[in-house]
Amino acid sequence: MSASVNHQRMGLLPTIIGRVFLALFLAVWMVPLYWLVNSSFKYKAQIQSEAPVWFPHPVTMENINWVIANLDHAALYRSLHVVSISVLFSVIFGPLMAYALSRFRTRANRQLESWIISTRMMPPAALIMPFYFLFLRIHLLNTELGLTLLYITINLPLTCWIMLAYLRGLPEDAEEAARIDGCSRWGAFWYIILPMTRASIAAAGLLVTILTWNEFFIAFVITSSNITFPVQVAGFLANGMNPEYGHMAAAGLLLSLPTVLIAVIFHRSLLSGLHAFAGGK
């Protein structure tokens, strides 16, 4: 009896340690989020006060109202256009690319897969200058079309890689049975494979949406006047020589709100799709 109790206690120890580390990890992410929300509803005097103001009292909406009044709506619409088009292309062509790599096996498949994953290993800072001079030569610099093409180039390999990991875990029996019954290769993909991969496609689309909406560095370098919403948010940091932390926090809150809502509303699709990508059932 005592041995069983000791065994249970030893089994609880890793669980407790894991939860403590998880709580610390979440705190690292939650403290900046708390500061962001807290500062958005504070007066400037409260933000710059030497004594910490843990909760804004009274609550003010002047930071959010200022951001909305000074917001460049063209930048917001440009972000929506760029994100929607790049995600649409990635979701349409990513599964097709992954299906071709998983079903049509050639000697070049290994090299293609290595190239696809290598595009995610390179830091953006290492690739931005070649793209900058290329877009300068073909007159796509500081254009919405150029930024959209660059985001498609970045997002398409990620979508393909997620779908490739999931498709390789699917049995080919149903697809082969459909082809025996007279279904074409395209018909088997449309009627058999596509319905089975809806969760993975949704997860890839949501993940690409979040990454593209939050992207700052590439848009900051490629665009100068035709900026996106994240680039404009960085411009709210200062008004002349005075730092405007309240405006910056409010702008960051408005920028984060869509992706947070997507993660909260569609968390089941994200978890199921990423679990399938990791090799789960």
Domain extents in the chain: 2-62, 66-277
What pLDDT score was predicted for residue 83? 93
Q: Is the dihedral of CA 205, 211, 217, 220 positive or negative?
A: positive
What pLDDT score was predicted for residue 264? 81
Helices (H), the chain: 2-40, 44-47, 62-70, 73-103, 109-121, 124-137, 144-167, 173-180, 185-188, 194-196, 198-214, 217-222, 229-234, 245-265, 267-277
What pLDDT score was predicted for residue 6? 55
Given its phi and psi angles, is residue 142 left (phi above 0), alpha (psi -120 to 50 degrees) or beta? Answer: left
Q: How far apart are CA 254 and CA 72, in angstroms?
A: 13
pTM to 2 decimal places: 0.80
38-87 pLDDT, tens digit each = 888 888 878 777 777 788 888 888 888 888 888 888 888 999 999 999 99
Given a cut of 70, the residues of the chain with pLDDT beneath it are: 1-11, 238-241, 272-281
CATH topology of domain 66-277: MetI-like fold (1.10.3720)
